Amino acid sequence: MRDTTSDLPISLDTVTVRCGAVSILHDVTLEIAGGPPTVLLGPNGSGKSTLIKLGMRLISPSAGHITFGGRSSPGPTRSAIVFQKPIMLRRTAAANIAFALSAAGREPDAATISHLLSQVGLAALADRPARRLSGGEQQRLALARALARAPEVLFLDEPTASLDPAATKGVEDIIARTACEGVKIVMATHDLGQAKRLAGDVVFLAGGRVVERGASPQFFMSPSTDAARRFLAGDLVL
């Protein structure tokens, strides 16, 4: 049963996430609404992945509130995620997609599966064992699995961090196309170039805090905070 409630906007109110004594995210107040892709930008360890996991409700805040489309529970029902290192099931590529479809309550019929595979350019590899695909192919398959949920929001955690430029381009093209089809993209990356290519608006994180937020061309051309300026200049921001 597909429900028509929306997961957007995702609203965080003074959210803190602690792991033991250490704060990974500190007092984050943020709203992510529909529209062009939101890129979470920042150095490693700045809390981008944690923020994404909060958005998918894979973890809960230690303090503060988070709401999805105005409600605090149930969590997001129309969201999907692609992890940085996606885990392939020990089956064929097509069977992986079928599994994702079933989990989403959709019929895993051949037509839908092959459509999804074509969307990510893997139609020819449908019967290949998924674990034998290359890194880039696996990332694309993970994307197809996420798209199988027909999501309203698609989270991506550093999707091309371990890929070569050619594979990266393949994945970025799919992301851009998906954004054009109306899916809200929330993507974490530490790659400046990628952020510039894909972002509609940027959330800049450092040390577990949201340091700056802005629409895409403006942020890159004239950032307002010192930390953002140093990051864009290529310095290490601690």
Of the two residues 19 and 87, which places its CB atom closer to another protein in the complex?
A: 87
User: CB of 211: closest distance to another protein in angstroms?
Assistant: 28
Q: Does residue 124 interact with another protein by CB under 8 A? A: no
User: CB of 160: closest distance to another protein in angstroms?
Assistant: 19
Dist. CA 123–CA 79, nearest whole Å: 24
Of the two residues 157 and 212, which places its CB atom closer to another protein in the complex?
A: 157
Q: Does residue 127 interact with another protein by CB under 8 A? A: yes
User: CB of 11: closest distance to another protein in angstroms?
Assistant: 21
Q: Are strands 63-68 and 10-19 parallel, antiparallel or unpaired?
A: antiparallel
Alpha helices in 45-154 (DSSP H): 48-55, 93-103, 110-119, 135-147
Dist. CA 21–CA 11, nearest whole Å: 25
Dist. CA 150–CA 34, nearest whole Å: 15
Q: Does residue 102 interact with another protein by CB under 8 A? A: yes
CB atoms near residue 181 (< 10 Å): 9
Of the two residues 67 and 77, which places its CB atom closer to another protein in the complex?
A: 77
Report whether the peptide linkage leading into residue 74 is cis, meaning its omega lies within 30 degrees of zero: yes
User: CB of 219: closest distance to another protein in angstroms?
Assistant: 29
* Residue partners of 139: CB distance under 8 A and separation at least 6: 82, 86, 159, 160, 163, 167, 171
List of E strands, the chain: 10-19, 22-32, 38-41, 63-68, 79-82, 153-157, 184-189, 201-206, 209-215
Of the two residues 131 and 229, which places its CB atom closer to another protein in the complex?
A: 131
Looking at 9-17, 92-100, 184-192, 217-225, which segment touches another protein (CB under 8 A)? 92-100
Q: Does residue 106 interact with another protein by CB under 8 A? A: no
Looking at 33-41, 64-72, 97-105, 211-219, which segment touches another protein (CB under 8 A)? 97-105
Query: How large is the angle between the packed helices 93-103 and 135-147, nearest 10 degrees?
Result: 30
**Site mask for another protein (CB under 8 A), range 51-80, x = bound:** -----x-x---------------------x
Q: Enter the tokens of residue 7.
A: 């997961």
| Interface residue with another protein, options 12, 100, 113, 125 (CB under 8 A) | 100
Site residues, another protein (CB under 8 A): 56, 58, 80-81, 83, 86-87, 89-92, 99-100, 102-104, 127-129, 145, 149
